[in-house]
Structure 1
Amino acid sequence: MIPSPSSAVPTLRTDQSVRRGPALRFLADGCSVEAFEGESVAAALFAAGRRELRRSPRDGAPRGMFCLMGSCQECLVWVGSRKLPACQVPVTPGLEIETLDFREQRLG
């Protein structure tokens, strides 16, 4: 059946199609970051204006999110005792993460 012109057409507008979890805060390098439960740490940090997650070991250039699917390892962060891609870690209440540089400076 061909839809008539008056049929409801699905919209791609984000204000109608995105379902967000509840607003919350998590800690990144000891600082509070606003986020929505379930979004990735990378997305939450990017939305908060945080673009740099580490420095290149070769030339010290800033590095951040790149592929956003866990393949490139550019967005690695510490979550507890594990180093994980920030794009693969969902934000949850009470989450604490540290960037590689922050942890290195903190622990020496």
Structure 2
Amino acid sequence: MTVTITFDGASLEGRDGQSIGGVLLANGHRTWRDAQGGERGIFCGIGICQDCVVTVNGVEGVRACQRTACEGDIVEREVRA
């Protein structure tokens, strides 16, 4: 079974139960957040470092490595100083 999420206006497919970070990685996205002059993506993968935060369905600060992707999720990049 698959789920479809939207990221940067594009539809991405992932497996049911997969994290948002996993869906992004599986679809070739290595970074999805800009912070302190550099791009960030998955670093620790266990929710400690906060490098992978995204906005999901309008909620900021969601850890992509911890949040299960749900059908229809709209995922957006976060820009932090």
TM-score by length of 1: 0.66
Structure with bigger strand share is 2
CA distance in 2, matches of 1:81, 1:46: 21
Q: Percent identity?
A: 35
Query: Is 1:31 aligned with 2:10?
Result: yes
Shift of 1:81: 2.5
Equivalent residue number for residue 76 of structure 2: 98
- Aligned-partner SS, 2:68: coil
| RCO comparison, higher one (Cα < 8 Å, 6+) | 2
What residue identity is the alignment partner of 1:88? Q
Higher helix share: 1
How far did 1:92 drift? 1.1
Pair member with larger Rg: 1
Q: Find the counterpart in structure 1 of residue 54 from structure 2.
A: 77
In structure 1, runs of 5+ residues without a counterpart are 1-21
Tell me if 1:86 matches 2:71: no
- How far is 1:54 from its partner? 1.4
| C-alpha distance in structure 2 between counterparts of 1:66 and 1:81, whole Å | 21
Q: After TM superposition, where is structure 1 displaced by more than 6 Å over at least 4 residues in a row? A: none
User: Which of the residues 54, 68, 71 maps onto 2:45?
Assistant: 68
- The residue number in structure 2 matching 1:14 is none
RMSD: 1.5
Q: Secondary structure at the match of 2:30?
A: coil
Q: CA deviation at 1:89?
A: 0.9
Question: In the alignment, what sits opposite 1:17?
Answer: none
Give the TM-score normalised by structure 2.
0.86
